[in-house]
Chain A
Amino acid sequence: MAFFRTLTLAVAISGLSSLAQAETTLLNVSYDVMRDFYKDYNPAFAKYYDAKFNDKVTVQQSHGGSSKQARSVIDGLEADVVTMNMSTDIDAIVEKGKQINPGWDKKFPNEAAPFSSLQVLIVRKGNPKGIKDWNDLTKPNVGVIVPNPKTSGNGRYTFLAAWGAALKQNGGNEAKAREFTQAIFANVPVLDAGGRAATTTFMQRQIGDVLVTFENEAEMIAREFGRGNFEVIYPSVSIDADLPVAVVDKVVDKKGSRKAATEYLNYLWSEQGQEIAAQNYLRPRNTAVTAKYAKQFPAVKLFGVNDFGGLKAAQKKFFDDGAIYDQIAAEIAKKK
């Protein structure tokens, strides 16, 4: 008996002492390419939070493919915040898992996307095939490396970028856009499941003449493979990929971590947060920071997913089973 009493007492005391220290732990469930950014951002945020609230916060990270990460949250991974590369991934958590309340994109500025990226073309050193714009990707002797739009957000953005570019050139003619996009995808020799795998195929296996990927991934390639090994080509138009974030309502209410979680995301819009983003080649929202890093972000004419009626409509029109992308893939296979 006495033993048990001591034990309960010990537990109670340790519980109290941890309360006194008031240490908060957050879990940020994010996608692959964000690893580098949050590695820089988390310590900066912890410092800020400690200074402001006299409270220590530790942020744990979980990375993987964006949709896969969203599925983990739906299936019960207790994330305090999610930071994804497509709003549809967060919408899925709202609809399927109900852990996030509807209207999450109104809770932070810029439709809850603290920074954006865009699709660029990466070519081999000296640009031997003379690739300047999307049109060059339709030429028959050009190998295009793109991740699979069925399994990768990066691939979906690429598809939409090509489609949108074709629309712009052809005065909105959808049949022409379809032909154009099909010609690009007919040039794809290997269809990797995700953005990182596509980078490996292009840089390590030396397959293809051009890799289409996010601007910030180009910076990762530069750090990994050296800047002299490739060139980044900015096409005449590209797609604005907003990278959204959200607080996971159900989890923060249960854990009592709403304040820290909200603060964590809010700080992304702070000058320091935006600066860290810019250093990781994510395009900041803050105009002052944008001006400071203007040199590394060439101006590109952009269109947004809203031109497709939002990502949800685009998903349905292009990427659902049997939709346009599947039809194109079938036609390409038939011709070969």
Chain B
Amino acid sequence: MKFKQSSVLPGFNLALGYSLLYLSLIVLLPLSALFAKTMGLDWSSFWATVTEARVVATYKVTFGASLIAALINLFVGLLIAWVLVRYPFPGKRFIDALVDLPFALPTAVAGIALATLYAPNGVLGEPLEKIGIKVAFTPLGIVLALTFITLPFVVRTVQPVLEDMEKELEEAASSLGATRWQIFSKVILPTIFPALLTGFTLAFARAIGEFGSVIFIAGNMPFKSEITPLMIISKLEQYDYMGATAIAVVMLVVSFGLLLLINGLQWWMAKRLGRRK
């Protein structure tokens, strides 16, 4: 008697085992070390650490700015992907390569470059200051840095889906008398929506953890422009490992919760769309 049915595609057990081992070593082990370190704190001091007024203020800055940046890129990223896929123009390859630049650049370099550009004596900062907009060393600067860093996520997730879309669908809609807006909202958007959502999620998650690029442009004023990763660093500077990991755990749990929520939303949407088909 055979213990199990062999698959058409052999090697499942080996591949699964390898995947689990790899994930455990690379992701789960460091994360559980994080939790283990926090275990040294009892619940009340953990709670006191993570709900301190100054720390709570940083959650608002970090999650708020990340959300705004991800939303901006949701629209701008879609636009860029659209232009790159739909229109031929000279220098397209160059622009295409440019999109990935925020990925390749060390984030601290990005932060310093942005701060130089948008500082009150910078090339862009000076004229902006004249019309009353301060960018560098304000929360606006944080949003700017996060938007820069997370741009590739939306573009690179939406682009392939747009490329694969069948033109016939749009043509059919058009011949049936749909307006342009109807084609976009009823035909194109539902197709690319899961990809858009993925891009948004990735951008949002990346922004939450961002440190290097933000720290140079934020100004880091307490209760105003401090980000949560800075709180972690400042705990570490006081050798308060447990306090630092406690805040890290909060970030981790919130981020994971958000990712789970968005993944669930995606799954639900896919199911609903699938049924409609």
A and B: interacting chains = yes
Residues of A bordering B, CB below 8 Å: 65, 67-68, 70-71, 74, 92, 96, 148, 150-152, 188-193, 197, 204-207, 315, 319-322, 326, 329-330, 332-334, 336
Neighbour of A204 across the interface among B116, B235, B238, B240, CB < 8 A: B116
Neighbour of B220 across the interface among A67, A71, A148, A207, CB < 8 A: A148
- Tell me how far the C-beta of A215 lies from the nearest C-beta in chain B, rounded to whole angstroms: 23
- List, in ascending order, chain B residues with CB within 8 A of A67's CB: 236-239
The yes or no answer to B121 lying at the interface (CB within 8 A) is yes
For chain B residues 151-174, which have a beta carbon within 8 Å of chain A?
Answer: none
Q: How far is the CA of A148 from the CA of B221 in the complex (A)?
A: 9
The CB with the most chain A CB atoms within 10 A, among B49, B53, B233, B239, is that of B239
- List, in ascending order, chain B residues with CB within 8 A of A207's CB: 119-120, 137
| A193, B121: Cβ atoms closer than 8 Å | no
In the complex, the chain B residue whose C-beta lies closest to that of A97 is B239
Q: How far is the CA of A232 from the CA of B18 in the complex (A)?
A: 62
Minimum-distance CB pairs A-B, first 9? A333-B223, A329-B222, A150-B234, A205-B119, A191-B220, A67-B237, A190-B219, A206-B121, A151-B237
For chain B residues 191-234, which have a beta carbon within 8 Å of chain A?
Answer: 215-216, 219-224, 230, 233-234
The yes or no answer to B142 lying at the interface (CB within 8 A) is no
| Majority-rule SS of B interface residues | loop
- List, in ascending order, chain A residues with CB within 8 A of B222's CB: 191, 326, 329-330, 332-333
The yes or no answer to B54 lying at the interface (CB within 8 A) is yes
**Interface bin, chain B:** 20 to 34
Q: How far is the CA of A152 from the CA of B238 in the complex (A)?
A: 10
The yes or no answer to B243 lying at the interface (CB within 8 A) is yes
| B220, A319: Cβ atoms closer than 8 Å | no
The yes or no answer to B52 lying at the interface (CB within 8 A) is yes
| Given A191-B220, A206-B121, A330-B223, A150 contacting B137 (CB threshold 8 A) | no
- Tell me how far the C-beta of A73 lies from the nearest C-beta in chain B, rounded to whole angstroms: 12
In the complex, the chain B residue whose C-beta lies closest to that of A319 is B238
| A92, B54: Cβ atoms closer than 8 Å | no
15 contacts across the A-B interface (CB closer than 8 A):
A67-B236, A150-B237, A150-B238, A151-B237, A189-B137, A190-B219, A191-B220, A191-B222, A193-B220, A205-B115, A207-B120, A321-B235, A326-B54, A329-B223, A333-B222
The CB with the most chain A CB atoms within 10 A, among B136, B215, B237, is that of B237
| B238, A320: Cβ atoms closer than 8 Å | yes
